[in-house]
Amino acid sequence: MHILYQIASLIIGPGLLFTGSPKLAYGAEPTDGCTAATVPYYGFPLITTKNIPGTGRGRGSVEVTFSENSPFGISITENGSYRYDLDISLDRIKIRGAGELVAWVTTRDLSEIRKIGTLDTDHRIRGSVDWNKFLVVVTLESNENGDGGRWQGPIVFRGMSRSGMMHTMVGHGVLQQENCFAYGYDS
């Protein structure tokens, strides 16, 4: 195996000498230190319910990154869970009538629900969550739902975290053909 590494370095090494720049060799500029890169895998789409006029052609997305409050690149809560930052954005929507768009996070079984907040005029909001598997729900509230306990208005968009889509096959019979994406969490 060691011989293979020596042969590879002989073949690749001279090519790097003539490039003059790591950018030409690897396609990226050198940096002065660690930089946070958004990994597209951690994002997921928000799917419109098409129940509210002006949202039928709407699109939404959630970009999930590790919280930047730590020098180690990730933040962990007191109970050992990762803390994720969520950047929620909607576009191609025009809500008719009164009401505010409010974003929520919840566990997959809806046993715990937390209000992130009211989306701004550009239909964006930033929040955080410390669950590994979670849903993001955007509702149309007649007021800002001041108590924050649970949404009252209709669901406008919903989406599921990538890890939330993973599950065991317990409960799936040998001949049962359940389409797990039939619930509309994937476009």
Nearest to 37, CA basis, from 18, 8, 56, 65: 65
* Spatial contact of 139 and 157, defined as CB atoms under 8 Å apart: no
33-51: burial string, b at 16+ Cβ within 10 Å, e else: eeeeeeeeeebbebbbbee
* Spatial contact of 64 and 163, defined as CB atoms under 8 Å apart: no
pTM to 2 decimal places: 0.69
Q: What is the pLDDT of residues 125-181, one digit of tens each?
A: 999 999 989 999 999 998 755 556 789 999 999 999 988 777 655 555 554 555 554
Gap between the Cα atoms of 160 and 182, Å rounded: 13
Q: What is the pLDDT of residues 29-47, one digit of tens each?
A: 444 444 445 455 589 999 9
* Spatial contact of 157 and 49, defined as CB atoms under 8 Å apart: yes
Q: Residue 93 pLDDT more than 90?
A: yes
